């Protein structure tokens, strides 16, 4: 089983890729490439075979990540490749106690990193006052995200499966201690990587119709709720296919309706300050 796609796949396959991505409501675009086919076919994989991921694959995945754009070439991120089973077990516990992290042969922890610059500033007896502002944290979170998305897609193109782990933000100080992170470094998220198991049955999840998220020259609020209501039906049918009775609207309102929906991450501002990001 592989997630890699034949880049020369036929128009029928393209129509199926769009249909899976939007439910059945979206016609196929005529502008499709091998890259876009790989992107459309993305699904989150949480069942992995024990087979290792090769060093060469990790090297190519990191090269893909570094090839992503980065604000003013500042490169304010790093990544820890975690393979040690005991460490991976402890990180899994800290990241929502998710078993698939333990089973993934590689767990990549993506870091917003200003410690490299702090070392340079120290050596050159230079200040680093700008790093204390919200803007600098945003630059780091944006750039590490651009990099990690390239990494995830590169891994998928190699036949690997991946899933992002926001739970790596659940206990930032404890995770930093496990990975020996210095001041001014914090985990943005994890990425579990491995060969999909034969039991993996994850499917491409439909997204909101384009009418809900795309605007032309000015933002429109009035077109969104009809598209969301259409999506509510699409995603309900998708979840029913998995034996679940889920409402997207209910789920987003539970997540953001109260502080409790943040599951402890309401203290990430404090944790960022503890890690050396002062968010001024």
Positions in 208-267 near its own copies (CB under 8 A): 208, 210, 212-221, 224-225, 228, 235, 248-249, 251-253, 255-259, 261-262, 265-266
Question: Each residue of 13-34: b (16+ CB within 10 Å) or e?
Answer: bbebbbbbbbbebbebeeebee
CA triple 142-213-203, angle to 5 deg: 80
Query: Using the rule CB under 8 A, is 131 a contact of its own copies?
Result: yes
Q: Quick one: angle between helices 248-257 and 224-240, nearest 10?
A: 110
What's the full length of the chain, in residues? 280
Query: Using the rule CB under 8 A, is 16 a contact of its own copies?
Result: no
d(CA 242, CA 245): 9
CB of 94 to its own copies, least distance (A): 15
User: 172 with 186: CB under 8 angstroms?
Assistant: yes
**Binds its own copies by CB under 8 A, chosen from 49, 90, 103, 205:** 205
CB of 105 to its own copies, least distance (A): 13
User: 95 with 163: CB under 8 angstroms?
Assistant: no
CB of 272 to its own copies, least distance (A): 7
d(CA 23, CA 236): 11
Residue among 156 and 197 whose Cβ is closer to its own copies: 156
Span 168-187, contacts to its own copies by CB under 8 A: 169, 179-182, 185
Q: Which stretch binds its own copies (CB under 8 A): 92-100, 160-168, 192-200?
A: 160-168
- Tokens 């944290």: give the residue: 137
d(CA 9, CA 1): 17
CB of 173 to its own copies, least distance (A): 14
Q: Which stretch binds its own copies (CB under 8 A): 96-104, 155-163, 192-200?
A: 155-163
Which of 200, 203, 199 minimizes the C-alpha distance to 235? 203
Gyration radius of the chain over CA positions = 20
Span 36-95, contacts to its own copies by CB under 8 A: 36, 38-42, 44, 54, 56-57, 59-60, 62-64, 66-75, 77-84, 87
**Binds its own copies by CB under 8 A, chosen from 102, 142, 230, 274:** 142
CB of 146 to its own copies, least distance (A): 4
Q: Which stretch binds its own copies (CB under 8 A): 19-27, 96-104, 195-203?
A: 19-27
């Amino acid at each position: 089983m592989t997630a890699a796609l034949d880049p020369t796949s036929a128009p029928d396959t393209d129509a199926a890729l769009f249909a899976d991505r939007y439910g059945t409501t979206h016609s196929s675009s005529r502008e499709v490439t091998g890259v876009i086919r790989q992107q459309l076919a993305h699904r989150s994989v949480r069942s992995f075979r024990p087979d290792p991921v090769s060093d060469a694959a990790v090297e190519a995945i990191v090269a893909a990540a570094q090839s992503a754009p980065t604000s003013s070439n500042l490169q304010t991120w790093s990544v820890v490749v975690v393979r040690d089973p005991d460490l991976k077990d402890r990180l899994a516990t800290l990241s929502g106690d998710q078993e698939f992290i333990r089973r993934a042969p590689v767990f990549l922890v993506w870091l917003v990193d200003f410690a490299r610059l702090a070392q340079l500033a120290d050596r050159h007896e230079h200040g680093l006052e700008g790093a204390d502002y919200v803007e600098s944290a945003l630059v780091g979170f944006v750039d590490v995200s651009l990099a990690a998305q390239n990494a995830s897609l590169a891994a998928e193109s190699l036949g690997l499966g991946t899933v992002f782990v926001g739970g790596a933000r659940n206990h930032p100080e404890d995770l930093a201690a496990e990975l020996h992170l210095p001041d001014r470094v914090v985990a943005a998220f994890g990425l579990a990587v491995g060969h999909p198991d034969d039991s993996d049955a994850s499917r491409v999840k439909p997204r909101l119709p384009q009418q809900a998220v795309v605007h032309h020259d000015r933002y429109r609020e009035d077109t969104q709720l009809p598209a969301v209501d259409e999506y509510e039906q699409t995603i309900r049918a998708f979840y029913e296919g998995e034996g679940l009775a889920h409402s997207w609207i209910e789920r987003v309102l539970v997540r953001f309706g109260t502080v409790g929906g943040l599951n402890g991450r309401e203290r990430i501002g404090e944790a960022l300050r503890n890690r050396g990001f002062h968010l001024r």
